[in-house]
Amino acid sequence: MTATQKLSFDVQLSDHARTAAERAEVLANPGFGTYFTDHMISIDYTEGEGWHDARLMPYGPLSLDPATSVFHYAQELFEGLKAYRQSSGAIVMFRPYANAARFNTSAARMAMPALPEDAFVESLELLVQTDRDWVPTAEGHSLYLRPFMIATQPALGVNYPSRTYKYMVIASPAASYFSGGVRPVSVWLSTEYTRAAPGGTGFAKCGGNYAAAFVAQRQAVENGCDQVVWLDAHEHRYVEEMGGMNLFFVFGDKLLTPALTGTLLPGITRDSILTIAGQVGLEVEEGRISIEEWQAGCESGELTEVFACGTAAVITPVGSAKGADRAWTVGDGTPGPVTLKLREELMGIQYGTRPDTHDWIHKIC
């Protein structure tokens, strides 16, 4: 398939789809990333031939040769976005073309083939349309969509990337990330481990970044914190991001977020907040902030709020920070007004209770 050719999807419906009662039981308490819908998308790629065999099929396990290169060299990438059921009953996605573009940026870094943006978005539409009854109706709930791509060539040679790939999409009903309101998280400043260095894969949404992060996340928990905050690779001083979320620092009516230097993931939530901040009277700056400035700002009261943002948890306040030789609270440790205001604005657009002035909402059905 070339960029202008349209893929046509072969549709194979499940003959063992869950009943309405079984589905209702899952949707009553979906958690996050635990249950999956009845179908999935698969598209194959072969060097020289391009993308082919696009299909919607029953959800189920894959059978792969043990020599398949993704198992050995982690040539893999993924995306994450949500389908929302709006108050009008419409099912929509939020900025899916931004995810499509980022998917291809990640693919280029991982020496993997690009997928035409329309095929990416169409694959999501087809899966959500087919499994539309799995899009939750409960407030703050959604259907989390996970597109990903793996290298499928069964070969152990390391001198060239795989010549075959598989793109897939699976979908998982999701509760609001934090049940019982917006709970501030505590963060651990990782001066021992590094997530990403210049020239590395920090800006790509690849599984390997996460594989290398688990040990630091475990250290955060051992130190009584919820999440790890990554610092720059060189000095371990400048803030990059938090776990799988970007960070914002609130100085009264000014927002500061670490600039996209190549070592952090360009979040779509981050970009959306930079765009809507002006509408709620906030100034924005993309720059850098050290852990000393973060601590001093909180102690002087100049730095009033800190929050993390990402698709899964939307906007989450950061209540306290701790490192090997320091610990402090942010504000009074409770969610601040700017954090809550931006959260309400963004979720309002996603769930259709606020006007979509930026054309971010993509209606599916």
Ligand X SMILES: *Cc1c(COP(=O)(O)O)cnc(C)c1O
Judged by beta carbon, residue 113 or residue 310, the one nearer ligand X is 310
Cα–Cα distance for residue pair 333/297, rounded to 1 Å: 14
Smallest distance, Å, CB 202 to ligand X? Answer: 8
85 vs 205, which CB is nearer to ligand X? 205
Q: Which residues lie near ligand X (CB under 6 A)?
A: 80, 205, 241, 244-246, 265, 267-270, 310-311
Q: Is 56 or 255 the residue whose CB approaches ligand X more closely?
A: 255
Tokens of 143: 């259907």
Q: How far is the CB of 212 from ligand X (least distance, A)?
A: 11
Nearer to ligand X, 37 or 263 (CB): 263
Residue of 350, 317, 315, 345 whose CA lies nearest to 331: 317
Burial 19-31 (b: 16+ CB within 10 A, else e): eeeebeebbeebe
Shortest CB 244 distance to ligand X, Å:
4
Measuring CA to CA, which residue among 297, 310, 186 is closest to residue 252? 297
Nearer to ligand X, 166 or 270 (CB): 270
DSSP conformational letter for 29: S
DSSP 3-state assignment of 338?
Answer: helix
Could you give the CA distance from residue 341 to residue 305 in angstroms, rounded to a whole number?
12
Residues paired with 295 in a beta bridge: none
Report the C-alpha gap between 176 and 313 in whole angstroms.
Answer: 7
Distance of closest approach, residue 227 Cβ to ligand X, in angstroms: 11
Q: How far is the CB of 17 from ligand X (least distance, A)?
A: 29
CB of 178 to ligand X, least distance (A): 16
Which is nearer to ligand X, 40 or 309 (by Cβ)? 309
Cβ neighbours of 101 (radius 10 Å): 16
